[in-house]
Structure 1
Amino acid sequence: MAQPLADILPQLRIGNQAALVDFYRQHRAHFARWANQQQQLTDTQAHQRLRNALLLFYDQVADGRLTKAPDDLRNYIYALALQESVKEIEMPPELLPAAEAGRRRRLILFFRQLSDDSQKILMYFYFRGYNFTKVAGKMGYPNAAVARQQKLSSLRTLADLHLRSRGATPA
């Protein structure tokens, strides 16, 4: 990032992510080497971790959790990437019982049939752990009650898709 970080934060708050793309391009190879030494990650895994960390950093700036620039941005982003490693641990599909693996595949298929907004709401609430006030802010809703209603509507749609696949009619 050639610009001073203090100039970049306001740009991130209004949605301009060009500085993050530049950071990724400049540090991708270095991070992959570093992550390989720290956690024996492949280049592909390291690149995904760095992208996740940059998205998390963007979220922190955009929603106001991060109000001033970290002293060393590279170290801050790398630390975020290490924290992300805890969230990425998943049981490999081949170790799951066949019924559970099938259920998960069907659920992912139904999830992908939801609108983009419904997917975002459910991801923010269930996977990122955002409360309804924060979900409302991220989605541009006027208040937490609207976010709660939209989440409920998204879950109903997901349940309806599941019921239809089993030949049942929604209530």
Structure 2
Amino acid sequence: MDTINRIVENNAEIEPVYKKKRGIVLLRRVDNLIFVSGHGPEDQITGVPLFRGRIGADLTPEEGYRAARECAIIILGALKDTLGNLDKIDHFVKAFGLVNCAEGFHDVDGVMDGFSDTIADVLEERGYHARTAMGTHNLPNNNIPVEIEVIVSVKD
């Protein structure tokens, strides 16, 4: 699975470290649930968006799908950093996604499938989740195209 978020140091790929930003926690664990803050398709070291703009005007639906896929990779990386490995995930419970849409663009679900398909590919049935997808006209960090938050159940 190719990812855009790769760091190469001394000719070896290393994984990014996810840190708190602006007083907002990346995630919060309550009992066996982890609530993950909204993530956009951004470089996890610099915070620079990997994609910018509205789907249907600045970006194609395929680019929107790739942006949502990148969000899945980033969220899985954050969970792996927190838990040590993805085997500790019992299942994804819920995903909520915002898609930055141009006037007349309505395939919000098709864009969010980039996220859901990736989670299901990696975790199989443990990745199946309830989902809400909503179109909007503005998102943070220089107009990112997608922002996704999740709730994940973890094993004791």
Q: TM-score range by the shorter chain?
A: under 0.3
Name the structure with the higher helix share: 1
Name the structure with the higher strand share: 2
Bigger relative contact order (CA 8 A; separation at least 6): 2
Q: TM-score, normalised by structure 2?
A: 0.26
